[in-house]
Amino acid sequence: MTDARSRPARPGGLRVLGLMLALLPLCTACAPTQASAPAGTFLPLAQDLARICDGNARVTVSGELLWDAPDGPETQAAPYLVACRSFTLGNDGRTVHVQDDTLALALTHFDPDAHFMTYYADLQVRFPQPGVLSADPTDSVPDALQEQVRAVRVTVTRDGLPDHALLQGGAVTPLRYDPGVPLTVTVAGEAVPWPVVRVQAQRGLIEAPLR
């Protein structure tokens, strides 16, 4: 995978504008921007911004901003908006927004402990390759817990198309999708950190409402 820091630098302001424009088709009221961010939004500039971006900035399970500093990890609660050279992370207090050049890169901006897109224990919904959505098989779940995992349902919805049962009754049915069509992944039947995730794969954009 290409290291995001090795790519040509682009002005942070343009990344914020790109995030705003990308989010408009989904929700004109929820996209945070420097001009319309909630009062008290953390908007790091110059040296602080570089320190955060170079510190592997990522999102925690609670939606906080996390980065690595010389003295150890540091966090910032919502609301925040961080526009790095190649990616943008935002949390307006209701929804986390992550955007990078590709969906695969955007997914790397969630901390491993965020359990992003898990549907049961450590089993996850995954994008194994562009245009394909799948999920971990359930055969690793102990027999005593199979009834629980069979109660979990993962549904994919897309405008104008029938709903797709990605996981139902313990069976996974992968989906081939058009990266240009926004999709929503919903987990039901299990308490997970991110039960609803909206994705615009072609734009490398992820929206995840907070619980």
Q: Are residues 11 and 102 in the same domain?
A: yes
Mean pLDDT of the chain: 88
SS (H, E, C) the chain: CCCHHHCCCCCHHHHHHHHHHHHCCCCCCCCCCCCCCCCCCECCCHHHHHHHHCCCCEECCCCCEEEEECCEEEEECCCEEEECCCCEEEECCCEEEEECCCHHHHHCCECHHHCCCEEECCEEEEEEECCEEEECCCCCCCHHHHHHHHCCEEEEECCCCCCEEEEECCEECCEECCCCCCEEEEEECCCCCCCEEEEEHHHCEEEEECC
Query: What is d(CA 203, CA 19) in angstroms, rounded to the nearest whole number?
Result: 9
Q: Are residues 70 and 121 in the same domain?
A: no
User: What integer pLDDT is reported at residue 2 of this predicted model?
Assistant: 39
Domain-embedded: residue 95: yes
Query: What is d(CA 175, CA 199) in angstroms, rounded to the nearest whole number?
Result: 14
User: What integer pLDDT is reported at residue 39 of this predicted model?
Assistant: 75
Last residue of a domain, one of 97, 113, 129: 113
Write the pLDDT tens digit of every residue in 75-124.
999 999 999 999 999 999 999 999 999 999 999 999 999 999 999 999 99
Average pLDDT over residues 138-156: 97
Give the CATH number for residue 176.
2.60.40
Domain-embedded: residue 176: yes
CB-neighbour burial class of residue 66 (10 A; exposed 0-12, middle 13-18, buried 19+): buried
Domain-embedded: residue 154: yes
Query: What is d(CA 145, CA 143) in angstroms, rounded to the nearest whole number?
Result: 5
- Quote the domain boundaries for residue 80: 4-113
At 90, phi and psi to the nearest 5? -145, 150
Q: Are residues 30 and 53 in the same domain?
A: yes
Q: Which residue has the higher pLDDT, 13 or 186?
A: 186
Q: Are residues 124 and 104 in the same domain?
A: no
Q: Are residues 91 and 161 in the same domain?
A: no
Q: Are residues 177 and 143 in the same domain?
A: yes
Last residue of a domain, one of 113, 148, 174: 113
Q: Are residues 84 and 16 in the same domain?
A: yes
Q: Indicate yes or no: pTM above 0.85.
A: no
Q: Are residues 107 and 123 in the same domain?
A: no
Write the pLDDT tens digit of every residue in 27-64.
333 344 555 567 789 999 889 999 999 999 999 999 99
Q: Which residue has the higher pLDDT, 81 or 23?
A: 81
| Structural domain count, the chain | 2
CB-neighbour burial class of residue 165 (10 A; exposed 0-12, middle 13-18, buried 19+): middle
User: What integer pLDDT is reported at residue 26 of this predicted model?
Assistant: 38
Q: Are residues 122 and 109 in the same domain?
A: no
Domain-embedded: residue 198: no
Q: Are residues 89 and 161 in the same domain?
A: no
Q: Are residues 154 and 173 in the same domain?
A: yes
Domain-embedded: residue 202: no
Write the pLDDT tens digit of every residue in 68-82.
999 999 999 999 999
User: What integer pLDDT is reported at residue 40 of this predicted model?
Assistant: 85
Q: Is the peptide bond before 79 cis (omega within 30 degrees of 0)?
A: yes
Write the pLDDT tens digit of every residue in 167-195.
999 999 999 999 999 999 999 999 999 99
User: What integer pLDDT is reported at residue 67 of this predicted model?
Assistant: 98
User: What integer pLDDT is reported at residue 34 of this predicted model?
Assistant: 59
Confirm if 20 and 29 have CB atoms less than 8 A apart.
no
Q: Is beta strand 95-99 parallel, antiparallel or unpaired with respect to 88-91?
A: antiparallel
Q: Are residues 146 and 87 in the same domain?
A: no
